[in-house]
Amino acid sequence: MYGTELSEIYELIFRSRGKNWVAEAKGVAELIRAHSPAADSLLDVACGTGAHLRTLRKFFSYVEGLEISPPMRQKALEALPGVAVHEGDMREFSLGRRFEAVTCLFNAIGYVSTPEEMRRAVRAMADHLEPGGVLVVEPWWFPEKFIEGYVAGDVVREEGRVIARVSHSTRQGRATRMEAHFTVADRDGIRSFVEIDLLALFTLEEYLEAFAAAGCPATYLPGGLTGCGLFVGTRDSGPS
């Protein structure tokens, strides 16, 4: 999952699907400032290739990233010279400093497996916030919003290369099983690979309880960046 082959085409394929990392990052920065006008340091958890972080660094004086996939992290390091991008698991990381804002975007929280793991991840993120700091998390779909058998397909053309992606999603217990097939054609030939993602279907209440238990009570904003909404929490001023 999120290996070298996908890291090479990741941003291109999602841009073709209409994703605008620049606009999304600007919106998140504005949201953070609405809750904490003086916020000036930010950690982006599960930062991927650094696509959001490249814009977020323009709004915050100090930024860092965290990414569990080595190929994706390498892309972020290449794109963000001078920025610390740590290799780590959102469920159990400790960077030794706190930030005035922490983000976890593009449904990455869904890649933890159970409500307990999700609570651990939210706790770890909240523990990296200064008192009064803002935590923004973009969830995966709630169970009642999941569409069984959902299919999608895209073809991207750029000079010397064509990329096709088709996907099919089914429910597997309390998770979405998304199987995506990629075919890449370029001057070297045609190659294909498959990515299978499991994204947990946590409820609204489970998310809100996790934020509250982490000392970072949150509200849910429908819509958000991709239709799944956003959770926005503020760290309590008391001791962690």
Q: How far apart are the first and last CA of the chain?
A: 34
DSSP state of 85: E
Give the pair of three-digit tokens for residue 238: 């008391």
| 162 and 223 co-located in one domain | no
Where does residue 126 fall: left (phi above 0), alpha (psi -120 to 50 degrees), or beta otherwise? alpha
The answer to whether residue 240 sits within a structural domain is no
Question: In the chain, which stretches have pLDDT less than 70?
Answer: 238-240
Q: How far apart are CA 216 and CA 231, in angstroms?
A: 11
| 59 and 163 co-located in one domain | no
The answer to whether residue 165 sits within a structural domain is yes
CATH code at position 172: 2.20.130.10
The answer to whether residue 44 sits within a structural domain is yes
CATH code at position 96: 3.40.50.150
The answer to whether residue 239 sits within a structural domain is no
Q: What is the pLDDT of residue 75?
A: 97
Task: Kindly tell me the sign of the dihedral angle through the C-alpha atoms of 130, 21, 29, 210.
Answer: negative
Give the pair of three-digit tokens for residue 108: 């990455």
How buried is 113 (Cβ within 10 angstroms: 0-12 exposed, 13-18 middle, 19+ buried)? middle
Number of C-beta neighbours around residue 170 at 10 A: 13
Query: Which 3 state secondary structure label does DSSP give 202?
Result: coil
Q: What residues make up the domain containing 162?
A: 144-200
Query: Which 3 state secondary structure label does DSSP give 68?
Result: coil
Q: φ, ψ for residue 175 (rounded to 5)? A: -135, 155
Q: What is the pLDDT of residue 104?
A: 98
| 177 and 63 co-located in one domain | no
Q: What is the pLDDT of residue 2?
A: 84
| 222 and 183 co-located in one domain | no
Q: How far apart are CA 222 and CA 169, in angstroms?
A: 22
| 13 and 77 co-located in one domain | yes
Q: How far apart are CA 6 and CA 141, in angstroms?
A: 23
CB 200 within 8 Å of CB 142: no
Q: What is the pLDDT of residue 238?
A: 61
Kind and range of the H or E element at 132? Answer: strand 129-137
CB 237 within 8 Å of CB 215: no
| 127 and 102 co-located in one domain | yes
| 57 and 38 co-located in one domain | yes
| 153 and 223 co-located in one domain | no
Q: Which of 46, 55, 49, 47 is nearest to 9 (CA)?
A: 49
Q: What is the pLDDT of residue 55?
A: 98
Q: What is the pLDDT of residue 157?
A: 94
